[in-house]
Structure 1
């Protein structure tokens, strides 16, 4: 019983910490998107576009790491194909953690959010197809309303504070993770072209090398990072979207620490017990003291798995640097005032996020519970599920990413329409979800 209570309290404290981070991250994302929209519709628009089209390079002799073929990456490409690999690497780590020890670690835990996520992907795509059939120019973007933005949706949910039951936060996180898996599969399968097998073979060899090094107990994160950069470059040249390299690399990073926590505590106690203490209050440590402290430092590195350590280190960089930069580079919707600003793609994306996500998540959850395929968590009811289903329509980050892959190079007008649909759909879904939960959740604190 004590172990169960400790696990619950750990989950609560972890989610509360993540909630505070996601609120700040969501505000930064919103401000970055707002700044991009303002610049795209002001006299600064040419400067904004010129900045994004600037070339970036990391030159070593004739070799340019930031290049695709013989062309240097632009700032926009560097953010979308380079920095966003870190985001997808973090997403891969979170998926792996959920599969190993989280809410997707068993069929019993995973079945309800998995079914909900399937509905949240299928119905928006069907709505999109009804408005923009396959074969039309707009048909390429049918995957845009599939995704749920975990940071934004959890940020909105966190505004309701302690009224939100833990089961509701876990349900939202779990089906959003499954959504991410669906988005990653779509990117890998449908947005790859002209595959260069030789680059993929080199990448595969390096990944196999990393796998066996990890199996032998290596926890050197710098080594994994350096090899990871090489793998990213190979994917960039291969025709498979480079962000997929981040996801695959995440699944290879060791999840098991070298040193068990019990042995670590024992070694710390031993080090403290026999630590050579000087009678004088010296500011310079002796060689014996330094040696003891280095042993403690080495043990501390080995008791945290590379997977957990990298996840902890990446959250700040991804949430506070990478995603705001991505929002600034991709959310610049131009409101030109002509008929091209709003089109079928705008309506397909917005309706997919607002209605498709809600209908898909809610109906599939209802069917699963009524057919007794899965059971409803005790602290959830259908009113709260309806609010969470609306929050599932917050599809900002991955939706913008897929929109760029769909229309970025060939259809700038359709890309602008897709961006507008994403911003409108996300804003309305987020607002409706917050209002429904505000009135549906009990006024007293929920534990």
Structure 2
């Protein structure tokens, strides 16, 4: 398959190494649990927002806490978007850095596929959104809403309909979502910063630099690192740049390996793996579900309200961007990558598998809701929430249908990838790949 004789064309998607496959499996297990909690939070918010006690939900979202002197007297909804999602992006930044420094994506040929797919999955839905909403006053601000992929939501869907999805496709989905998150944070920083204050932004470099020095020296003491991280976050927030950017900056400062020299006396894993192990459960189990709970609640107003919402070009643009634009962009970019690199799909996979995965990537829940709030303001994005929820649910259902068609094939591949006849703890297929 991927690691066979050099005379074969490179596989467009392959299962990778056993070390990477085992790591990805552990990550996805945690994210799947987080996805279930995310769905519970979102459903609870929707039920509460459409109940006779809807006013209590809005009151809770608007409760303000925090020191006014530091300009941090924020609503709970704002704390969830600015604070909790900084943890989410910190973990995403750690994962992205690890993939490209020590993971299978060190190989540019392997990295090219998910990077190209992520770019295609951003450009095409944004273009479709702008095409549908052209001429609508103020609609252009929301062009980035349908560009995101929610890995937790997608994995919650896979837990139900795609438990036997091959390792290659799971790895591709995870890497695509991580690159997607990085693109999203760049978009947020560049296009959703209304008032930039250079002084706090420059001041943030001091605690960030000290944080970087400490983690490079493998300092783990929370009482040293946490105040510095909070200082970076607060200063970035004060600068006008969205505070979640601080999470990515802090993640990129954390070393993935202890020494850049592979054979050096200090060679070994850096702190990135340690921090990811500690913070991923917090991100998946607390940060994202709480954000979903405080952001997803929208009063639908019955069938008449839904019909009115879908009469809004912004709603149609977001939904079409997620359900049509996202898979179209990913498929087109992947096909072009295959054409120009002369790579073929792995012998066990077909373009139907890529289509199912591309449609699944149209689930754009968490970051889409965040960008919707940044584009139109908290409380002014009710129709956007309807669009994101409807588009994400539609993408999940379509992906379920497509992937279920291939479930028998996936079961066969799963049996192959888990068979360990010599009982050495490493599935035989990875050993045969290595020998080949």
- Normalising by structure 1, report the TM-score: 0.82
Q: Deviations over 1:212-266 (max 9, x none)?
A: 34444534444222101011111111111111011101101222348x99999xx
CA distance in 2, matches of 1:204, 1:373: 44
Larger radius of gyration: 1
Q: Do 2:215 and 2:271's aligned partners in 1 also have CA atoms closer than 8 Å?
A: no
Q: Deviations over 1:18-55 (max 9, x none)?
A: 33323322221111111111111111111100111111
Cα offset, 1:184, TM superposition: 0.9
CA distance in 2, matches of 1:135, 1:344: 8
CA distance in 2, matches of 1:213, 1:26: 33
Q: Do 2:173 and 2:357's aligned partners in 1 also have CA atoms closer than 8 Å?
A: yes
CA distance in 2, matches of 1:334, 1:103: 45
Q: Do 2:16 and 2:168's aligned partners in 1 also have CA atoms closer than 8 Å?
A: no
CA distance in 1, matches of 2:325, 2:85: 27
Q: Deviations over 1:272-319 (max 9, x none)?
A: xxxxxxxxxxxxxxxxxxxxxxxxxxx9xx976321111101111111
1:364 aligns with 2:343: no
- CA change 1:223–1:135 in 2 (3 A) is farther
Partner of 2:49: 40
Partner of 1:435: 401
CA distance in 1, matches of 2:44, 2:318: 22
Picking from 10, 24, 34, the partner of 1:15 is 24
- SS of match in other structure, 2:74: strand
Partner of 2:425: none
Q: RMSD between aligned alpha carbons? A: 2.8
CA distance in 2, matches of 1:90, 1:202: 24
Q: Deviations over 1:90-124 (max 9, x none)?
A: 11111111121224323111111111111111110
Q: Do 1:154 and 1:169's aligned partners in 2 also have CA atoms closer than 8 Å?
A: no
Partner of 2:386: 420
- SS of match in other structure, 1:395: coil
Q: Do 2:20 and 2:104's aligned partners in 1 also have CA atoms closer than 8 Å?
A: no
Q: Deviations over 1:413-436 (max 9, x none)?
A: 5x1111111111111111111211
Structure 1 residues not aligned, in runs of 5+: 265-298
Picking from 53, 56, 61, the partner of 2:65 is 56
CA distance in 2, matches of 1:419, 1:406: 12
Partner of 1:250: 251
1:341 aligns with 2:309: yes
CA distance in 2, matches of 1:42, 1:329: 15
Cα offset, 1:14, TM superposition: 2.8
Q: Deviations over 1:121-176 (max 9, x none)?
A: 11101110011127722221110010111122233234345632111111111222
CA distance in 2, matches of 1:319, 1:215: 26
1:133 aligns with 2:134: yes
Partner of 1:386: 355
Partner of 1:291: none
Q: Deviations over 1:331-377 (max 9, x none)?
A: 01211234653311111111100000111111221222133355434
CA distance in 2, matches of 1:254, 1:89: 13
- CA change 1:436–1:161 in 2 (3 A) is closer
Cα offset, 1:81, TM superposition: 0.9
CA distance in 2, matches of 1:46, 1:165: 46
Map residues 69-88 of structure 1 onto 2, 5 A cutoff: 72-88=73-89
Q: Do 2:145 and 2:318's aligned partners in 1 also have CA atoms closer than 8 Å?
A: yes
CA distance in 2, matches of 1:363, 1:303: 39
Greater displacement, 314-323 / 212-221: 212-221
CA distance in 2, matches of 1:95, 1:20: 18
Q: Do 2:218 and 2:271's aligned partners in 1 also have CA atoms closer than 8 Å?
A: no
Q: Do 1:188 and 1:240's aligned partners in 2 also have CA atoms closer than 8 Å?
A: yes
CA distance in 1, matches of 2:164, 2:308: 43
- CA change 1:352–1:7 in 2 (3 A) is closer
CA distance in 2, matches of 1:178, 1:12: 18
CA distance in 1, matches of 2:293, 2:237: 23
CA distance in 1, matches of 2:110, 2:97: 15
CA distance in 1, matches of 2:286, 2:85: 11
- CA change 1:222–1:92 in 2 (3 A) is farther
1:315 aligns with 2:280: yes
Partner of 1:444: 412
Cα offset, 1:401, TM superposition: 0.8
Structure 2 residues not aligned, in runs of 5+: 5-14, 418-436
Aligned length: 397
- CA change 1:211–1:373 in 2 (3 A) is farther
